[in-house]
Chains A and B, each alone.
Chain A
Amino acid sequence: MAKLNKLQTATLPDAVLDRRQAVPALIENPDDFLMIAGLAGTAWEMSALTHESPRLFGLGGAMGAAPMMGLGLALAQPKRRVLVATGDGELLMNVGALATIALQNPPNLTIICVDNGHYGETGNQDSHTGLGVRLDVIATGAGFPVVHVINTEADMAEGRRLVREANGLTFILLRVKEGPATHEGKKNLVPHIERDRFRAALLG
């Protein structure tokens, strides 16, 4: 298959982690968070990880929505920790959102980008990150005060600590090998049912 050339500036090592272990290991106890998950892989795996928690809103479309949904939620609920988990393709579709979020700087928001370098749902084409685009550098340039890259198991402990304890807007780039996300749990992401469940669980 013909491919675009990797960027000459590409400097990160090849990804070695398997998302099916790395994502649960990073998040540990999902009950501690309000969560938004970007479409496709991350929505499925977060749904499985949380056993379809009502405190998770998973996207099945509206690609690019997850980070800004997280911002609206974090501003609305400043006493709760808000976690956005999304893929590289989803984040790239609205990468300007990182600039918008950094200007607001909500201390209770963490964005985890599960970066497999591919468009897994559409035929596994290389994504921009797979060819060397650095989302961690973009987040730093946007003004995220805390940015952490997880390349190997050795980087995981700090990532876990930041997810739990960081007192400030945080961006975590979790670099994983290509390959399927855990796909069990919700059979269908029906947005208005998810909305009602989420609001009922949070707001009563």
Chain B
Amino acid sequence: MAETVTRENWPEALYDLLRDNGVTQFAYVPDAGHKALINRSLADPDVHSVPLTTEEEGVAMMAGADLGGKRAVLLMQSSGAGNCINMLSLTQGGRFPFLTLVSMRGEYGEGNPWQYAMGQAVEPVLKAMGVIVLRAETPQDVIDAVTAGITMAYQCNQQVAILLTQRLIGAKKF
């Protein structure tokens, strides 16, 4: 799988990777960058596909899943990272495993000026809350970084964000 990942099929390979590693709760605020994962989770009878009203709900839900012995992942856009910040007190203080995939806006080639403030702040604010940040620039990066993040989060109780950069997913055209 990892050898054949392409610009077209990486979202499918990413979903399979998460499922192969026992993730059964997918929490998300809808975003074009996560469309394939969201649709796969909705069609999968063996997982819970949980649309949120705001991203911090997902941070709390992941902690509850962990108390119950299950693995969860949070899918969000960069603007949602800011909504999570105080809720990460729970994740940090409880040493809960935390894995989030962040589709980036407000960086390479962004055409919407509103996206820059939060997009550029994602890395420093997540790091300030103790989250380890990994960046994926290519399809192969995604698989490698998420594989690493799965080990770091679920095996070592670390908090990990993988940024799906605009070089990877492309800048939205305006």
Q: Which residues of A contact B (CB under 8 A)?
A: 34, 36, 57, 59, 61-77, 94, 96-97, 99-100, 103-104, 190-192, 194-195, 198-199, 202-203
- Is the CB–CB distance between B25 and A76 below 8 Å? yes
CA distance A192 to B57 in the complex (A): 20
B50–A69 touching, CB < 8 Å: no
Say yes or no: A198 contacts B64, CB within 8 Å.
no
- The residue that B57 contacts in the complex, of A68, A74, A198, A203, with Cβ under 8 A, is A68
Of the four ranges (under 10, 10 to 19, 20 to 34, 35 or more), the interface on chain B belongs to 20 to 34
Query: Given the complex, which residues of A lie within 8 Å of B59, measured CB to CB?
Result: 65
20 A-B interface contacts by CB (under 8 A): A65-B87, A68-B58, A68-B64, A69-B63, A71-B50, A72-B70, A73-B64, A73-B65, A75-B65, A76-B25, A96-B54, A99-B53, A103-B51, A104-B48, A191-B90, A191-B93, A191-B95, A195-B94, A198-B67, A202-B67
**Given known contacts A62-B89, A64-B60, A100-B52, A57 and B67 CB-to-CB distance under 8 angstroms:** yes
A161 to B50, CA, bound (A): 29
B67 surroundings in chain A (CB, below 8 A)? 34, 57, 69, 72-73, 76, 195, 198-199, 202
Instruction: Select the residue from A57, A68, A202 with max chain B CB neighbours within 10 A.
Output: A68
Rounded to whole Å, the gap between the CB of A33 and the closest CB of chain B is 13
Interface positions of B (Cβ within 8 A of A): 24-25, 48, 50-54, 56-70, 72, 86-87, 89-90, 93-96
Contact indicator A76/B53 (Cβ below 8 Å)? no
Q: How far is the CA of A137 from the CA of B93 in the complex (A)?
A: 34
Q: Is the CB of B60 within 8 A of A100?
A: no
Tell me if A64 and B69 are in contact (CB < 8 A). no
A75–B67 Cα distance when bound, in Å, is 11
Q: What residues on B are CB-neighbors of A97 within 8 Å?
A: 53, 57, 60
Is the pair A104, B50 in contact by a Cβ cutoff of 8 Å? yes
Q: Which A residue's beta carbon lies closest to that of B96?
A: A195
The answer for the CA separation of A150 and B86 in the assembled complex, in Å, is 32
Residues on A with beta carbons closer than 8 Å to the beta carbon of B93: 61-62, 190-192
Residues of B within 8 A of A59 (CB): 90
Q: Are B69 and A203 in contact (CB under 8 A)?
A: yes
Knowing A57-B67, A68-B64, A69-B60 touch, does A75 contact B53 (C-beta < 8 A)?
no
User: Which residues from chain B contact A65 at a C-beta distance below 8 Å?
Assistant: 59-60, 63, 87, 90
Are A71 and B51 in touch, CB under 8 angstroms?
no
Is B48 touching A75 in the complex (CB atoms < 8 A)?
A: yes
| Max count, chain A CB within 10 A of own CB: residue among B62, B65, B70 | B65
Q: Are A69 and B51 in contact (CB under 8 A)?
A: no
Give chain B residues whose Cβ lies under 8 Å from the Cβ of A75.
Answer: 25, 48, 50, 65, 68, 70
